[in-house]
Amino acid sequence: MKVLNFGSLNIDYFYKVGHFVQKGETQASDMLNIYGGGKGLNQSVALSRAGAEVYHAGVIGTDGAFLKEILEEAGVNTTFTQELQNVRTGHAIIQNDSAGDNCIILYGGANQEVTKELVDDVIKEFGSGDWLVLQNEINEIPYIVDKAHEKGMKIVLNPSPVNNKIFEINLSYIDYFILNEGEGQALAGVQADGSTLINKLGEKFPDAEIVLTLGERGSVYSGKEGVVWQDAYKADVIDTTAAGDTFTGYFMAGRMEGMSVKDALNMASKASALAVTRKGAAMSIPMKDEVIGFKAK
């Protein structure tokens, strides 16, 4: 069983600020760091560190070669990561405030240069029983989903950032949704939260398994194993940038290796609690032995 993550690769420009910049304001940054990131890259690193066999497909420019190195150092196969000469790698401008919260501007760059030809070349190498993990930071997602469904792959969608392009996807083909409350509200078409929202999502996507992340309130699963709630672990927050991606990677890796939903949610919650205590995106994602040895406060 293989995991294909067809996802974004970004260069993250990380600015430490006292508060998020307001309209008309100029603010000096206390620090600038440049990291590898993108929801795709982060989730590939998390999946690999959690023990999955991961192949990353995506597109970078010549300025993004170090992103392949990050993936490879994490044990991710980059055979399907394409480098283009005439486009810049996607990037993110991240403001990180004194409370550890983030405000992010994305530039798609090479992430928007995925072609149907690339999709065909990649998907043909996978088949029934393999998994596909997707976010919403690259183009051609509807085509990727259609082709993966034709091959009998199990499809996981983290619809982030949520926008109207999500509704161009045949969402009935999705086996797992992993999403936060804002994304869940957009997909369900209701202003609800918690148990009400997970029920609405279950009604709309009855054949899918759904994980709703609730920030400090933890997470909840609805699907074949019923409804399972998981508390969040307390942590000293430094940077929340890759917390959601860490959660996604560890939860899905656990499920792929046969863990129960309860155990996979617990592992994912521990991993994300560790991630927020560290700076950066991919570099903040913990190793599996760290997560196993995690002691709750």
Q: Which residues are catalytically annotated? A: 245
How far is it, in rounded angstroms, from Cα 197 to Cα 215?
Answer: 15
Determine contact, residues 230/269, Cβ cutoff 8 Å.
yes
| Count of all residues that appear for the chain in the document | 297
DSSP assignment of the chain: --EEEE---EEEEEEE-SSPPPTT-----SEEEEEEE-HHHHHHHHHHHTT--EEEEEEEEGGGHHHHHHHHHTT-B-TTEEEESSSPPEEEEEEE-TTS-EEEEEE-GGGG---HHHHHHHHTT--TT-EEEE-SSSS-HHHHHHHHHHTT-EEEE---S--GGGGGS-GGG-SEEEEEHHHHHHHHTS---HHHHHHHHHHHSTTSEEEEE-GGG-EEEEETTEEEEEPPPP---S--TTHHHHHHHHHHHHHHTT--HHHHHHHHHHHHHHHTTSSSSGGGPPPHHHHHT----
* Angle formed at CA 206 by CA 205 and CA 211, multiple of 5 degrees: 65
Q: How far is CA 1 from CA 57, 246, 283, in A?
A: 17, 21, 26
